Amino acid sequence: MKRSIAAALGAATAISLVLAGCSGGDSDEASGPATITLAGWSLATTPEFQKLADGFRSVNPDVTIEVKEYDAANYDTQMIADLAAGKAPDIYTQKTLKNFYTYQSGKQLLDVSDVAGKLGSTVGGLSAYQVDGKTYAIPYRQDSWVVYYNKALFDQAGVKHPDGSWTWDDYAAAAKDLTTKLKAKGSKALGTYQHTWQSTLQGFALAQTAGADLQSGDFSYLKPYYQRALDLQTAGAQASFGDATTNKLTYQAQFGKQQAAMMVMGTWYMATLRSQQEKGDADKFEWGIAPAPQLTKATTGTSATPVTFADPTGFGINPKIDEKKAQAAKDFLAYAAGPEGAKALAGIAITPADTTTTKDSFFTVSGLPTDDLSKFTFATHDTKPENPVSKYTAPLQNILNDMHSAVLSGSKPLDAAITEAQDRAKNEVLSK
């Protein structure tokens, strides 16, 4: 694909914030004192960048990492602009896989196959960054989407807690039951909350539907997931898409302030919820996580492996990095993906790419649930990528995001919206 995708994203100005005293390297190969810049976002509420930087510095004090802050919502737009202008950091985060092809095919990522070759097989998500036998980024996080549930609201409503056996129909029935019974008890909480992102439906549909293929241009696999969501909106069991967008609802407040008894969200939210409860930004209540609801019973139950989705989060190196600093940057990637980086991330309730190192210690962090189902959910899942790497992925996902908004807002009937998306995919993307 031509670089027109990058051009379409437009130019934006990145916001810089230099954090002093960050980071270092853990390899004897690091070539002396160096200062390396690293891209991150929402630094006040996303501690992973500083945590990894501090841990790396503790074993290689000669390397200083300066963190450059970007806007989380416009990260890729700003990064592409900075790369084009020659202002991008030495190391920049691959926030999702959606734009990985744009970076890699545009020769904006250094080959880090040598780093990948030294990592163990327990690092999840590594294959997502491999193209033609070479690796262009290293995952340090591998989240998975799960169900968060408020145990106190379930108990108040007299509804049985999730047990790992739910299909999506079971989930929808529980959401309606919770809403009715909580309302009868005088609570304003709804049964569930579905955030406005297309991921909340399309990620599950792509991962769980046999034969579903984003690049096929056939989006019929999305239909049952949207039918269910529209039914929950109509029933009043979850906030409508219109309310969520107009009132700018945040998923953190909807669950953390007990406006909803359940929510599907990525495992990254565990760290946020734990922190917000400690600081008083979220209510204090007992919560847990359960496997994502499944399309069929075949993958339910704790004797099976539930299917879910999430892209890995990785670090790539700007190929314009000073050659004298390249080895130190590679050492940082190796640290972040390795056992020590995994332990550092688990210590702040961030799900590392290497969960085998932390599966026994993760839930010893204060403020996290300790029940068996939460531990099972964290450790056992078949996590498929939301954005299969391809030159078509970004433009197709943009079309599907338009469809998502049109359907949930009620501006287009479901069947018509799917047909329109398929026509656009064929004419605007797949035929090019």
Distance CA 198, CA 386 (A): 10
CA distances from 182 to 157, 185, 257, 286 (A): 5, 5, 15, 17
Residues 136 and 149 occupy one common structural domain: no
| CATH for 352 | 3.40.190.10
Of the residues 326, 358, 390, which one is the last residue of a structural domain? 358
Residues 301 and 153 occupy one common structural domain: yes
Question: At residue 374, does pLDDT exceed 60?
Answer: yes
**340 assigned to some structural domain:** yes
Strands 63-70 and 34-41: parallel
Model pLDDT, residue 32? 61
**62 assigned to some structural domain:** yes
**428 assigned to some structural domain:** no
Q: Give 67-115 pLDDT, tens digit per residue.
A: 999 999 899 999 999 999 999 999 999 999 999 999 999 999 999 999 9
**29 assigned to some structural domain:** yes
Q: Give 141-161 pLDDT, tens digit per residue.
A: 999 999 999 999 999 999 999
Task: Give helix then strand counts, H and E, for the chain.
Answer: 17, 12
Question: At residue 16, does pLDDT exceed 60?
Answer: no
Model pLDDT, residue 33? 82
Q: How many residues does the chain have?
A: 432
Residues 300 and 349 occupy one common structural domain: no
Averaged pLDDT score across all residues of the chain = 91
Q: Give 195-251 pLDDT, tens digit per residue.
A: 999 999 999 999 999 999 999 999 999 999 999 999 999 999 999 999 999 999 999
Model pLDDT, residue 24? 35
Residues 302 and 315 occupy one common structural domain: no
Distance CA 181, CA 138 (A): 47
Query: Which residues, in sequence order, are CB contacts of 269 under 8 Å at separation 6+?
Result: 148, 251, 252, 255
**373 assigned to some structural domain:** no
pTM of the model: 0.87
Domain count, the chain: 2
Residues 182 and 192 occupy one common structural domain: yes
Residues 124 and 214 occupy one common structural domain: no
Model pLDDT, residue 86? 96
Residues 12 and 139 occupy one common structural domain: yes
Residues 41 and 157 occupy one common structural domain: no
Of the residues 341, 358, 375, which one is the last residue of a structural domain? 358
Share of the chain above pLDDT 90, in %: 86
Sign of the alpha-carbon dihedral angle for 366, 368, 374, 378: negative
Residues 47 and 104 occupy one common structural domain: yes
**399 assigned to some structural domain:** no
Distance CA 150, CA 423 (A): 42
Domain assignment of residue 108, given as a range: 4-143+311-358
CA distances from 328 to 18, 33, 117, 140, 225 (A): 19, 9, 17, 17, 46
